[in-house]
């Protein structure tokens, strides 16, 4: 079945195979650098996330790709759509801010500065959920700024279904990665 490909692979020689492996590694490294660069620019650990549930319908549907930012000097407001991550939970959650509570820094006796966020507590809720998210917070009463991954700034509908399919069917993920790796090695350019 693959005899012709194996013969072509043997004819390429060690140097060519090594060059193809290095090209493949440089593509992977470039992707990682772009991801980390986007993270630095947007000030978030995850500048792009996929909606995994229907809790935000009709605003966002399962499979929508969301673009996030997390500006240091911006406060979150009621109605903002945020992505947050609770310590110990692996999957970030996309929900809307229901309430905010701002507190001045402990060393300041002045009122809350409208420009810089001193201490801000948030309560969130999914648009398609009946109750707020306190039960999801795993013992926390409020979300703090350190739990927020980012604020949603834009989205592409249904593009994230590829990610969902690869998570639901791991064989598909391994087949795609293996096929890409094989193509990178066999390609003659």
Residues with a catalytic annotation lie at 55, 95, 133
State the Rg of the chain over Cα: 22
* φ, ψ at 66 (rounded to 5°): -110, 140
CB-based contacts of 133, cutoff 8 Å, min separation 6: 93, 95, 123, 124, 125, 126
End-to-end CA distance of the chain: 24
Do residues 71 and 43 touch, judged by C-beta distance below 8 A? yes
Q: How far apart are CA 39 and CA 76, in angstroms?
A: 19
Q: What distances in angstroms separate CA 175 from CA 32, 159, 182, one per listed residue?
A: 21, 20, 10
Q: If DSSP codes are grouped into helix, strand and coil, which group holds residue 148? A: strand
Do residues 105 and 118 touch, judged by C-beta distance below 8 A? yes
């Amino acid at each position: 079945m693959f005899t012709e490909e194996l013969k072509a692979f043997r004819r390429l020689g060690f140097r060519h195979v090594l060059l193809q492996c290095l090209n493949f590694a440089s593509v992977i490294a470039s992707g990682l650098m772009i991801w980390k660069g986007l993270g630095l620019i947007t000030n978030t650990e995850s500048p792009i996330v996929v909606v995994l549930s229907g809790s935000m319908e009709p605003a966002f549907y399962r499979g929508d790709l969301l673009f996030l930012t997390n500006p240091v000097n911006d406060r979150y407001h009621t109605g903002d759509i945020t992505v947050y991550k609770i310590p110990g939970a692996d999957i970030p959650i996309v929900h809307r801010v229901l309430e905010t509570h701002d507190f001045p820094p402990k060393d300041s006796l002045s009122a809350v500065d409208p420009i810089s966020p001193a201490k801000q507590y948030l309560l969130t809720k999914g648009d398609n959920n009946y109750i707020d998210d306190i039960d999801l917070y795993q013992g926390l009463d409020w979300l703090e700024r350190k739990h927020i991954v980012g604020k949603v700034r834009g989205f592409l509908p249904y593009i994230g279904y590829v990610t969902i399919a690869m998570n639901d069917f791991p064989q598909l993920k391994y087949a795609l990665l293996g096929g890409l790796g094989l193509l990178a090695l066999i390609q003659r350019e």
